[in-house]
Chains A and B, each alone.
Chain A
């Protein structure tokens, strides 16, 4: 056996890194099962002495957690569904259909990627107010309905579709709409999953825009509600950890289930620069 030192060091560092990375999430989970006050002791307890679901019960019974969860689910699902349709149609057209100004429009869109969304936020608020969409689901999802990144993602993938296939369908007399729905969409399926999970996670986790536009508490999404709750209940660590768990768990589970597609999206996105 030759030198084992480096192998031991690498594996040790991998484990230390994993412990440091996972600890906050595991501790969050553990503390969420502790009775009120149990986490405000020294030294900080690692595991609940008497595990309880009281914090979760309290969240759903007295703090409307179910409602906020539903709001988050509705907002993220709606945004994902519409963004999927709009971005896919546009991305496909930029890749495979010919129209005047195609390249110029696409370049303009790519150029716009340098503008951070926050620049638009204040005029967007005025605009959304003019449209009567303040404190509505519509108002929250409006900025996520189409994205330059989404269009780019679909376009790059659609470029690899064989032209002969589309031509053959046209010669058979299929309309452009039919070609899209029954030929192109099934072929794009992997990248559609990628776009869907990226959009869903981004809207679920989004904070600043929902905070601004959702003035009615009943419509708050989980992150907005949690931020508000954490300001009122600074000392209730156990309750706050439970609130964090129900906010994080759905997206974490979704990511673990569809990890491959998510990573593919990040790698495709990093090529854009």
Chain B
């Protein structure tokens, strides 16, 4: 039929592009992770050798890989709740009928989301500057001694978390705001007539009303945070003492500094599997809660 032929002309180009530049590389990553793909193989594929699960085996014995894994998990575990909390707080504020100029504030809160990560990382590195940065200056007003944000292994990752929360909270705020506005007004009305306190309303109407969306943004934020790379690349170069080396940074160095592309593919795959498992776990947890 002529029409179905025409349809293929419409979807064909996009499907070919996705196939060649996405689906083939996904399978390619799996295959490459089973080889010793390196600089020699890159220039001539005949140098390629199949080595089974050797890359995975050596990775799991590499302390630096584990270090990058823990660093990434630390960033996720610290960053995701803080981000969601900030997003929810901002959404509640912007949604409150008591507030004025609410669309103005919404725009301000959202602005960091569209900024270039590399550029704002450069700006924050300066804000975190031990001697001349504004953060330590503000903290000194509270009587807190200067913190060596970028130079102290204990503070470098929290500093990156602060940047990430600042940069990203506006995104989830928009989504949560839409969810808040979907809660029927009469529920609040009824609660008020029953004399419920502000906290009770929040706990028993607001939170259940946005719970599914809250789960969704948690998962989206988490998968985003697992892909930490540009912040440490710009602010700390993975240091000090590899305390901000993320899995993706590790992959980048394995792949494009040492040209162990096979090993780097294995890192990418392990990260993907980990993200997949954690997402599946969260979804399951969310569903169980929902059933009750």
Binding site for B on A (CB under 8 A): 6-7, 10-11, 13-14, 17-18, 20-25, 27-28, 31, 39-44, 85-87, 89-90, 92-94, 97-100, 102, 105, 109, 112, 114-127, 129, 142-143, 145-148, 151, 175-177, 180, 201, 204-205, 207-208, 211-212, 222-224, 226-227, 230-231, 237, 240-241, 243-245, 247-248, 251-252, 255-256, 259, 262-263, 266-267, 270, 273
Partner of A118, one of B94, B213, B248: B248
Contact A146 B17 (CB under 8 A): yes
Chain B residues within 8 Å of A227, by CB = 118, 122, 230, 233-234
Partner of A10, one of B14, B93, B264: B93
Q: Which residue in chain A gives the minimum CB-CB distance to B28? A: A123
Contact A90 B15 (CB under 8 A): yes
Chain A residues within 8 Å of B124, by CB = 24
**Considering the complex, which residues of chain B in the window 99-146 have a beta carbon less than 8 Å from any beta carbon of chain A?**
99-102, 105, 107-112, 114-120, 122-127, 129, 131-134, 137
A98 and B7 contact, Cβ closer than 8 Å, known pairs A205-B117, A248-B119 = yes
Q: Which residue in chain B gives the minimum CB-CB distance to A253? A: B114
A7 and B21 contact, Cβ closer than 8 Å, known pairs A151-B14, A270-B216 = no
Given A14-B102, A116-B227: 10 more A-B contacts, CB < 8 Å = A10-B96, A24-B123, A89-B10, A116-B223, A142-B21, A177-B9, A244-B119, A248-B120, A263-B174, A267-B174
Contact A270 B116 (CB under 8 A): no
B interface residues, tally (CB under 8 Å): 95
Query: Could you tell me the distance between the alpha carbons of A214 and B226 in the complex, rounded to whole angstroms?
Result: 24
Partner of A115, one of B99, B107, B272: B272
A123 and B114 contact, Cβ closer than 8 Å, known pairs A14-B99, A97-B7, A99-B8 = no
- Kindly state whether residue B66 has any CB partner on chain A within 8 Å: no
Partner of A90, one of B13, B32, B137, B268: B13
Chain B residues within 8 Å of A208, by CB = 229-230, 248, 252
Q: Which residue in chain B gives the minimum CB-CB distance to A24? A: B123
**Considering the complex, which residues of chain B in the window 194-246 have a beta carbon less than 8 Å from any beta carbon of chain A?**
213, 216-217, 219-220, 223, 226-227, 229-230, 233-234, 237
Contact A205 B116 (CB under 8 A): yes
Q: List 24 A-B contacts (CB under 8 A).
A: A10-B99, A27-B127, A90-B10, A90-B15, A92-B10, A97-B3, A116-B227, A119-B26, A123-B26, A125-B255, A126-B37, A127-B20, A129-B42, A151-B14, A176-B3, A177-B6, A205-B114, A230-B122, A241-B123, A247-B116, A248-B115, A252-B115, A255-B111, A255-B114
- Kindly state whether residue B160 has any CB partner on chain A within 8 Å: no
Chain A residues within 8 Å of B109, by CB = 17-18, 21
Query: Could you tell me the distance between the alpha carbons of A14 and B104 in the complex, rounded to whole angstroms?
Result: 10
- Kindly state whether residue B265 has any CB partner on chain A within 8 Å: yes
Query: Could you tell me the distance between the alpha carbons of A186 and B78 in the complex, rounded to whole angstroms?
Result: 46
Query: Could you tell me the distance between the alpha carbons of A84 and B175 in the complex, rounded to whole angstroms?
Result: 24
- Kindly state whether residue B180 has any CB partner on chain A within 8 Å: no
Query: Could you tell me the distance between the alpha carbons of A93 and B7 in the complex, rounded to whole angstroms?
Result: 6
**Considering the complex, which residues of chain B in the window 20-72 have a beta carbon less than 8 Å from any beta carbon of chain A?**
20-26, 28-29, 32, 37, 42
Query: Could you tell me the distance between the alpha carbons of A169 and B256 in the complex, rounded to whole angstroms?
Result: 54
Chain B residues within 8 Å of A204, by CB = 116
Query: Could you tell me the distance between the alpha carbons of A98 and B7 in the complex, rounded to whole angstroms?
Result: 7
Chain B residues within 8 Å of A17, by CB = 89-90, 93, 105, 109
Contact A266 B111 (CB under 8 A): no
A44 and B264 contact, Cβ closer than 8 Å, known pairs A18-B109, A247-B116, A252-B111 = no
Chain A residues within 8 Å of B122, by CB = 226-227, 230, 240-241, 243-244
Chain A residues within 8 Å of B252, by CB = 208, 212
Query: Could you tell me the distance between the alpha carbons of A117 and B89 in the complex, rounded to whole angstroms?
Result: 31
- Kindly state whether residue B75 has any CB partner on chain A within 8 Å: no
Query: Could you tell me the distance between the alpha carbons of A244 and B235 in the complex, rounded to whole angstroms?
Result: 14
- Kindly state whether residue B190 has any CB partner on chain A within 8 Å: no
A122 and B14 contact, Cβ closer than 8 Å, known pairs A10-B93, A11-B98 = no
Contact B251 A24 (CB under 8 A): no
How many Å from the CB of A111 to the closest CB on chain B? 11
Chain B residues within 8 Å of A44, by CB = 132-134, 137
A146 and B94 contact, Cβ closer than 8 Å, known pairs A89-B11, A122-B32, A247-B118 = no
A120 and B118 contact, Cβ closer than 8 Å, known pairs A44-B133, A97-B3, A176-B3 = no
- Kindly state whether residue B261 has any CB partner on chain A within 8 Å: yes
Chain A residues within 8 Å of B15, by CB = 90, 105, 146
* 0 or 1 for each of B145-186: is its CB under 8 Å from A? (1 = yes): 000000000000000000000100011001100100000000
